[in-house]
Chain A
Amino acid sequence: MICAGIDAGSRTIKIVLMTAETQEVIAKGLADQGVKQDKLTSGLFQKLLKNSALDKKDIGRIVATGYGRNAVSIADTTITEITCHAVGVRHLVPDAMTVIDIGGEDSKLMRLDKAGKVRDFAMNDRCAAGTGRFLEVVARRLGVSISSLGQMAAKSRSPAPISSMCVVFAETEIIGLLASGVAREDIIAGVQSAIAARVTSLAGRNIDLPVVFTGGVALVSGMDTALQSALGQTVTVSPDPQMTGALGAAILSAEQITHY
């Protein structure tokens, strides 16, 4: 039996197909999110099925997660991204105790127990300063691509101090920094530090190790070191970080098939 996990995120849709019995990933795919979320999700799902020579009837169960989870009409059920990311990360990094997920529109920190269950979590979704959105804003303002941000930040010699309180005001700060001749590399490194500071404030006083970093922003090089620096702890980037939510959803759908 094959099962599916769909992570309908704010910026991208991710789908993982997996065999329920062995939990082996047989296909995965990603598409940009848009206005017609359900249609985009169905389109990606059909594409994955076709590429894998499968039919909808081959799929035993579908779990949707992510911000747009309730808009996924092909899903049998929904589970929050908190649970799904934790399950996905724990599958890939079995000793993970803290999961930091930075996505396009929010960031979260999940604390796990030894069995891998979520103990509690904290989320920032009121302010874009701790999210991937901040990186998009700075990339646009500096006229560079998001994929080049990490390389540029690595060249920074003196990261510029930037407010972590508000992206709108931070953008104004960036304009001021550019006008005063601060190097783009230093601005980017400063923004990465600001995001990291914002996210690590979710951790409170205690953080259990190891810390695993996941979500689309984990693909931006330099963000892991910014987080390490802010936390004062080693941070490991999860394998395939953008897919961990969908992977967790697929694993949970597999468990549900087994359970029922």
Chain B
Amino acid sequence: MTDMPRQITLQEWDQQYEQLQKAGLYQPDYGGLLSRHIEDGDTRLSKLRYDNSAAALRLWNFLLTEEERLHKARAEGKKLVGTMKDLGTIPVMAYSLDNLVAFYPDGAWWIPCVMELNTPLLRIADTLGIDESFCPVRAMLGAFLTGAHFPIPDLLTCSVGATCDDFSAIAQRLNGLGYPILWWEIPHRRCPEPDEPMVMLPGGFLAPKSQVEFVESELNRLKTALEDLAGRRLDDRKLSAGIKKANLVRSYLAELRQLVFTAPLCPMPALEMLIAEMLAIHFCSDQNETIIVLQGLLEEVKSRVRAGVGFLSPDAARIFWVNPVADLQVMNLLEDCGGRICGTEYLFTHALDTIPQNLPPIEALAQMALADPMAGSSIDRASRICTDIRTFGAEALLISRIPGASHCALEGQVIGEIVQDQLDIPVVEIEVPPLTGSIRPKLCTRLEALVEIVKKRREK
């Protein structure tokens, strides 16, 4: 364990960094002071509070150096694959070939979130007709046009069909600007007909076998494209090894989630857990390093749990959080208001489940892709949320909406009603725009009220 767990500011991290260095802190090549990342305008970082462990430092440095890593990979002659609207399937395939690096261009939606008003990405999207009525992921258009963030990928893939309408429009606009995209279709997951052959997907949902076979055919098409790009064959042996490695990431995350969400004292803040969970879908452009970063976090959490130390009050309200936020400060805010995260559903729960290793690899990946919560009904999504709320013992559900994000704008009410019917716990919806400064008091009221409700319910 690095130190007694504390949440510290960016400035305090500089002092903490010096102390850790004196104590012999090992730093990877992307390590260093966290404050250096605000030099390019990441002003939001200076407003966050961070976990004070060396493991968290490594996590943040890993996250904030992804662009450098991608440029380095290109310089080394590796091929870059931008896997758009894919939450955890194509990167597993791409990383099975050692000269490919996959990344998630959609992740550019966080750039304006952390850089606040210092980036023109959203303004560029505005000029392309993709205005604020669309999901903040539209920032990706600006990132492509300026080339100021990630290198333009050698291959762009994007799923269509049962995916977010907003993103489909944004990706089509990108395509129209001259960026070729290899589209692949993910069908809306439906319940099998009574006599129809069916498959139990990872996560427990049923799907018609024909749908799995269709996705397999799509993934085979993508496999060929990846092979062409890499100039190498992606055989079952390599794919199986890739799946095994992805499962290692998922198993670390599963253990981390279980420990953090159920420990009597919260051993890792909500913010760092959000960042860690995101690694499951994109590996932050380095799958091997992802494993090391997660191992470090897991060790830190285990030692904190063993020592019985952590953050927040032991009576913090146990909140299950649905959907990622567009402003990272809100994760700090929940804790300021007396809550702690005990369970999450950030729209990629399937990417946290183990990929079957007893199936032909493409079939296993097809099953995973079809298990995506966004590919099925809101009722399915709510059902999984109920299961996880029970697992982690959450006392309330908080549904966070992102303005303009159509994949979650209408689901909140459905999820809320089902959770209330099945579990009888309070449900509250909030809307988190990319810049929450002006609505912070209103968000506080909602979060504090939810915490008050939870605590009142504990009274007999």
A6 vs chain B, min Cβ distance (A): 16
Interface assignment of B446: CB less than 8 Å from any CB of chain A = yes
A119 and B427 alpha carbons, distance in the complex (Å)? 8
The answer to whether A80 and B417 touch (CB under 8 A), given A118-B426, A119-B426, A121-B428, is: no
What's the interface size class on A, roughly?
A: 10 to 19
Closest to A110 in B: B449
7 nearest A-B residue pairs (beta carbon): A82-B449, A80-B449, A120-B426, A83-B452, A118-B453, A117-B456, A80-B448
| Residues on B with beta carbons closer than 8 Å to the beta carbon of A139 | none
For this complex, 14 residue pairs linking A to B, each with C-beta atoms less than 8 Å apart, are A67-B441, A70-B441, A83-B449, A83-B453, A106-B442, A117-B453, A118-B426, A118-B453, A119-B426, A120-B420, A121-B453, A122-B429, A123-B445, A205-B417
Per-residue 0/1 for B426-460: is the Cβ within 8 Å of any A Cβ (1 yes, 0 no)? 11110100000001011001101100110011000
User: How many residues on the B side are at the interface (Cβ–Cβ under 8 A)?
Assistant: 19
Per-residue 0/1 for B397-438: is the Cβ within 8 Å of any A Cβ (1 yes, 0 no)? 000000000000000010001001000001111010000000
A248 vs chain B, min Cβ distance (A): 12
Closest to B426 in A: A120
Do A121 and B449 have beta carbons less than 8 Å apart?
yes
Per-residue 0/1 for A62-88: is the Cβ within 8 Å of any B Cβ (1 yes, 0 no)? 000001001000000001111100000
A121 and B74 alpha carbons, distance in the complex (Å)? 51
| Residues on A with beta carbons closer than 8 Å to the beta carbon of B428 | 120-122
Chain B positions within 8 Å of A, measured between CB atoms, are 413, 417, 420, 426-429, 431, 439, 441-442, 445-446, 448-449, 452-453, 456-457
B429 vs chain A, min Cβ distance (A): 7
A139 and B277 alpha carbons, distance in the complex (Å)? 52
A109 and B457 alpha carbons, distance in the complex (Å)? 18
Most buried by B among A82, A120, A125: A120
| Residues on A with beta carbons closer than 8 Å to the beta carbon of B446 | 123
Interface assignment of A36: CB less than 8 Å from any CB of chain B = no
| Residues on B with beta carbons closer than 8 Å to the beta carbon of A204 | 413, 417
Closest to B453 in A: A118
Interface assignment of A157: CB less than 8 Å from any CB of chain B = no
Interface assignment of A57: CB less than 8 Å from any CB of chain B = no
A204 and B449 alpha carbons, distance in the complex (Å)? 19
10 A-B pairs besides A79-B452, A83-B449, A126-B431 with CB distance below 8 A are A67-B445, A70-B441, A80-B445, A118-B453, A120-B427, A123-B445, A123-B446, A125-B442, A204-B417, A205-B417
